[in-house]
Amino acid sequence: MGRFHGRRSRETVSYEPASVKELLVEMKDTAELLIDLSYSAVLHASPSVAREVVELEHRMDVLQMRARMSLMLAARNPNEAETLAPVLGVVAAADKVSGAAGDIAKIVIEEIGLPEAMRGALTEGVETLVRGTVADESTYSGRTLRDVDLESETGVRVIAIHRGDDWILNPGPTTRLKRGDVTLLRGPEGGVAEVHPTLTGEPFELDDAPEPAIDDLERAVDSIVLMKNLSELAVDLAYGSVLFDNEELAEEVSNLEIEVDALQSRFEAWTLRAAKEAEDPVSLRGLIHLGVATEEISDAALQITEGVIRDIGVHPVVEMAVKESDEIITRTRVGRGSELAGTRIEAGVPATEIATSVLAIRRPDEGWLVGPDLDTTIRAGDAIISKGTRTSAAEFAALAT
């Protein structure tokens, strides 16, 4: 499937001095936001969210072009070209994720459609993410995120703000909300239902989606949700492998990519079987689009790890970019007597009040435990690869020591 751009951006891009690190940070944050937004657009059948995906995809086109220009100028000899080659791979991977997200948005924008039962399954696999415009009369208007304190009060984060032609991808405590801001909210459904009316002046409702009536369709839907979870995990572990120059994590990414490929084959077979029983087989087109785009994301993850797998080494600029992005990936060693030891993890979420997710655990006697449904109890000596905000990362590390 070719990349979908909606209308291709005609913005002229010319070279201007730019920090490669800052471009990589923005590309990583944009790529991860695009994954969230595209699946959310499908989940809520929301053309407005899908259009935000297209706008961000255009932004990514410009970012990757500027990054390529800067990298070409940075390579002054064969040794530098060798170390910078994997950085080009990271740039291309972020752009590939952007293209896959655009293909997912196409399902909504071009009204290709999905079986209604798909929304019910995606509800299980996608954290609630909604788009809301700050109303003139909102009590949040004119206040900083620290002042409104949504995250600690409701568990809801403002993960991005679209203000005019500009995007704020990593709004911090001092970021001030303004009327007319298009905000992207992510968090538990109950918290979003509480925040959304106050922010927008409009009620927030999610309709219950029906369960699949066809067994093969149910299997296909379950497969696509698992593919989505594994692909997102692969992207997170890929950035982790780069940050820690860790070949074992890179190998896990390769294993995940192979698993996603196998799932896609089974998914296609079940979708074709379901078409025989469906009242309108054409309604399954969107499901096929979703499967192909999801597999593209796992391919992009593998591309990120190329420098680690080929033992070329990780360029410091990539390490710094991963560390400084919106949600950061950390490795935490659990010490003896730690408050974390004995804590239960269910579906990758530790039973703490800290908003972080566990991507993988390296256990001295068992090796790597990896998966989106990771269920275990943390032990002293575990090395935990986790993902969360800088604040949650610091709190998690404090518990571990």
Tens digit of each residue's pLDDT (9 = 90 or more) over 210-251: 454 566 777 777 788 888 888 988 998 899 888 888 888 888
Q: What fold does the segment set 126-200 form as a domain?
A: Alpha-Beta Plaits (3.30.70)
Return the pLDDT at 5.
42
Return the pLDDT at 219.
79
- Residue 160, SS3 per DSSP: strand
Return the pLDDT at 41.
84
Return the pLDDT at 303.
92
CA-to-CA separations, 374 to 66, 75, 303, in angstroms, rounded: 38, 42, 24
CATH 3.30.70.1450 domain position(s) in the chain = 126-200, 327-400
Give 248: exposed, middle or buried? Use CB within 10 Å, 0-12, 13-18, 19+. Answer: middle
CATH 1.20.58.220 domain position(s) in the chain = 20-115+216-320
Return the pLDDT at 300.
94
Among the CATH numbers 3.40.50.1220, 1.20.58.220, 3.40.50.970, 3.30.2140.20, which is that of 20-115+216-320? 1.20.58.220
Give 120: exposed, middle or buried? Use CB within 10 Å, 0-12, 13-18, 19+. Answer: middle
Return the pLDDT at 18.
67
Rounded Cα distance between 177 and 158, Å, is 10
Q: Is the pTM of this model over 0.85?
A: no
What is the CATH number assigned to the segment(s) 327-400? 3.30.70.1450
332-347 per-position pLDDT tens digit: 899 988 888 888 988 7
C-alpha dihedral (375, 297, 89, 67), degrees to nearest 10: -110
Return the pLDDT at 325.
79
Q: What is the mean pLDDT of each run of 10 residues along the chain (401 residues)?
A: 45 64 87 87 82 90 88 77 82 92 90 67 61 92 90 82 85 90 85 90 69 66 83 89 86 91 89 78 81 93 89 76 80 88 85 83 84 84 86 85 83
Rounded Cα distance between 244 and 211, Å, is 42
Q: Residue 397, by phi and psi: left (phi above 0), alpha (psi -120 to 50) or beta?
A: alpha
Rounded Cα distance between 177 and 184, Å, is 12
